[in-house]
């Protein structure tokens, strides 16, 4: 495991143990099968219950609801190890933990927490998160999905786009505007009349992860399925803080897999009777990649410390998500070059990571949106309005 600055020395015994067990799980259960799933655009369904058994779903959720009750550095390490296997598998884990379990725990009623959280923790239920719409991606506040009051119930109408897990999810945490124009969180269950979740096909990225739409054709919603704890755009954005934090760690995992593959290849492959690793230009590439990975690890660890103290700000999270995903994409591109022609094949994980990271740099706030969140924090003037 690449750890040039002995960052593991700063971890507790429990954090190291959990990281090791997830690392072993990924090497046994994900890495051997993921390339085939990505090539075939299939999702390894059987992993859902295994993720549940490993405590990957809701590691920071309270134990009384089936969660792990763990700290945020441990959560980050789990995301890093899973994304070493594949960003799409980390997507499943982060959507379930940060975008489904988190809002139910943070904004849900006691009855909602008891009904959904334990089953989400074991993987008996799979969830998805619907914020993005066909006409509103970076600007979710413009959403057109409506939750209209009618007598003693509500009518949900509209659609969501680019939703991770939607075609296979049992429940969807959906964000819609009520009659007062306030954004509310709604738990929509599979099988509700008027609710469908068609799959989006033809992706060159996150091919082992299922992505789809959410379509609400006048779905009847009762009060018991509305999250009572918080409304307004801040409610979904707070969930995004959780998930973006996990991605800042996860991307490091993908970069380490690419870097370690390149180091190994450079030590074995010979040209001009010398290993690639003996050429100065290859050494420059490897040295720069290791430096950038190490900087990203330190950024993530410090962010984790702040998060554990309840002090990590949205813009600090944006800085780390933006930096670490761009770093991972650059490491993937450079590693691919070190492998020459072999780098484009599925015999190595690099091209898959690279294509996955093109989604990771776009979802959970695009690269540019995170720059603007930082810019707004520095200057006090948001540039997106
Ligand atoms: P703005 O006026 O800045 O804020 C509106 C209200 O929200 C509050 N707020 C936050 N609250 C909690 N946490 C945060 N991070 C918050 N950021 C803002 C803010 O204080 C305000 O509250 P109030 O009470 O004053 O009303 O909102 P804006 O409309 O100007 O938009 C800001 C912007 C552009 C930064 C935001 O819309 C944004 O982040 N856009 C990007 C959208 C995005 O990231 N979508 C992700 C969809 S989910 C996804 O991609 C999942 S992929 C999962 C996977 O597979 O891993
Ligand atoms: P747009 O908002 O149309 O942006 C296009 C480009 O314009 C980007 O480069 C952007 O940075 C730029 N841009 C936009 N506004 C500005 C501005 N003000 N200033 C400068 N540049 C700007 N969403 C969910 O809700 N749930 C999910 O589970 C989910 N999973 C996803 C899975 C995948 C595989 C993908 C690809 C996306 C997923 N998304 C999900 C959606 C994702 O969050 C959006 O794609 C993302 O927020 C960007 O929205 P958009 O695609 O509509 O791009």
Tens digit of each residue's pLDDT (9 = 90 or more) over 39-89:
999 999 999 999 999 999 999 999 999 999 999 999 999 999 999 999 999
**HEC readout, the chain:** CCCCCCHHHHCCHHHHHHHHHHHHHHHHHHHHHHHHHHHHCCCCCCHHHHHHHCCCCCCCCCHHHCCCCCCHHHHHHHHHHHHHHCHHHHHHHHHHHHHHHHHHHHHCCHHHHHHHHHHHHHCCCCEEEECCECCECCCHHHCCCEEEEECCEEEEEEEEEEEECHHHCCEEEEEEECCCCCEEEEEEECCCCCEECCECCCCCCCCCCCEEEEEEEEEEECHHHECCCCCCCHHHHHHHHHHHHHHHHHHHHHHHHHHHHHHHHHHHCEECCEEHHHCHHHHHHHHHHHHHHHHHHHHHHHHHHHHHCCCCCHHHHHHHHHHHHHHHHHHHHHHHHHCHHHHHCCCCCHHHHHHHHHHHCCCCCCHHHHHHHHHHHHHCCCCCC
Ligand 2 pocket, mutate which of 94, 95, 363 (most atoms under 8 A from CB): 363
Tell how far the Cα of 267 is from the centroid of ligand 2, in angstroms: 39
For residue 241 and ligand 1, the question of a CB distance below 6 A is answered with yes
213 part of the active site: no
For residue 335 and ligand 2, the question of a CB distance below 6 A is answered with no
Ligand 2 pocket, mutate which of 139, 355, 366 (most atoms under 8 A from CB): 366
- Out of 83, 133, 213, 364, the active site residue is 364
- Reference 330, options 266, 263, 249, 255; nearest CA is 255
Tell how far the Cα of 216 is from the centroid of ligand 2, in angstroms: 21
For residue 313 and ligand 1, the question of a CB distance below 6 A is answered with no
Would you say the pTM of this structure is higher than 0.95? Answer: yes
For residue 137 and ligand 2, the question of a CB distance below 6 A is answered with yes
Nearest CA to ligand 1 atom 7: 234
For residue 369 and ligand 1, the question of a CB distance below 6 A is answered with yes
Which atom of ligand 2 lies at the shortest distance from residue 366's CA? Answer: 11
Tens-binned pLDDT, residue by residue, of the chain (385 aa): 899 999 999 999 999 999 999 999 999 999 999 999 999 999 999 999 999 999 999 999 999 999 999 999 999 999 999 999 999 999 999 999 999 999 999 999 999 999 999 999 999 999 999 999 999 999 999 999 999 999 999 999 999 999 999 999 999 999 999 999 999 999 999 999 999 999 999 999 999 999 999 999 999 999 999 999 999 999 999 999 999 999 999 999 999 999 999 999 999 999 999 999 999 999 999 999 999 999 999 999 999 999 999 999 999 999 999 999 999 999 999 999 999 999 999 999 999 999 999 999 999 999 999 999 999 999 999 998 7
For residue 384 and ligand 1, the question of a CB distance below 6 A is answered with yes
The rounded Cα 203 to chain-centroid distance in angstroms is 17
Tell how far the Cα of 231 is from the centroid of ligand 1, in angstroms: 13
Tell how far the Cα of 8 is from the centroid of ligand 1, in angstroms: 33
Nearest CA to ligand 2 atom 11: 368
Nearest ligand to the C-alpha atom of residue 164? 2
Tell how far the Cα of 207 is from the centroid of ligand 1, in angstroms: 27
Which atom of ligand 2 lies at the shortest distance from residue 132's CA? Answer: 25
Nearest ligand to the C-alpha atom of residue 373? 1
Q: Look up the ipTM and state it.
A: 0.98
Which atom of ligand 1 lies at the shortest distance from residue 211's CA? Answer: 55
Tens digit of each residue's pLDDT (9 = 90 or more) over 134-160:
999 999 999 999 999 999 999 999 999
pLDDT, averaged across the chain: 98
For residue 131 and ligand 2, the question of a CB distance below 6 A is answered with yes
Contact yes or no for 250/87 (Cβ under 8 A) = yes
């Amino acid at each position: 495991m690449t750890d040039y600055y002995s960052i593991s020395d700063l971890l507790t015994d429990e954090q190291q143990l959990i990281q090791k067990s997830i690392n072993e799980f990924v090497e046994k259960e994900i890495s051997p099968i993921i390339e085939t799933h990505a090539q075939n655009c299939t999702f390894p369904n059987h992993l859902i219950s295994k993720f549940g058994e490993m405590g990957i779903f809701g590691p920071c959720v309270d134990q009384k609801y089936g969660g792990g009750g763990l700290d945020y550095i441990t959560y980050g390490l789990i995301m890093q190890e899973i994304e070493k296997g594949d960003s799409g598998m980390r997507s499943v884990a982060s959507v379930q933990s940060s975008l489904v379990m988190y809002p139910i725990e943070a904004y849900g009623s006691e009855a909602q927490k008891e009904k959904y959280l334990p089953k989400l923790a074991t993987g008996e239920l799979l969830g998805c998160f619907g914020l993005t719409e066909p006409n509103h991606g970076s600007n979710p506040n413009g959403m057109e999905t409506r939750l209209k009051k009618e007598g003693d119930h509500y009518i949900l109408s509209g659609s969501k786009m680019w939703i991770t897990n939607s075609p296979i999810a049992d429940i969807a945490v959906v964000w819609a505007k009520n009659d007062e124009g306030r954004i509310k969180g709604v738990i929509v269950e599979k099988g509700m009349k008027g609710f469908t979740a068609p799959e989006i096909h033809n992706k060159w990225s996150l091919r082992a992860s299922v992505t789809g739409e959410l379509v609400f054709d006048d779905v009847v919603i009762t009060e018991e399925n509305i999250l009572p704890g918080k409304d307004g755009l801040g409610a979904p954005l707070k969930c995004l803080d959780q998930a973006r934090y996990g991605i800042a760690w996860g991307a490091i995992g993908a970069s380490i897999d690419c870097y370690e593959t390149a180091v190994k290849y450079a030590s074995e492959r010979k040209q001009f009777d010398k290993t690639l690793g003996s050429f100065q230009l290859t050494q420059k590439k490897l040295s720069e990649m290791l430096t950038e990975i190490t900087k990203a690890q330190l950024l993530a660890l410090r962010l984790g410390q702040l998060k554990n103290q309840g002090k990590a700000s949205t813009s600090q999270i944006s800085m780390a998500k933006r930096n670490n995903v761009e770093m991972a994409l650059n490491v993937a591109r450079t590693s691919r070059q070190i492998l020459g022609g072999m780098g484009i094949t599925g015999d190595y994980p690099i091209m898959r990571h690279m294509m996955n990271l093109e989604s990771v740099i776009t979802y959970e706030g695009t690269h540019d949106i995170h720059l603007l969140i930082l810019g707004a924090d520095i200057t006090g003037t948001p540039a997106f309005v």
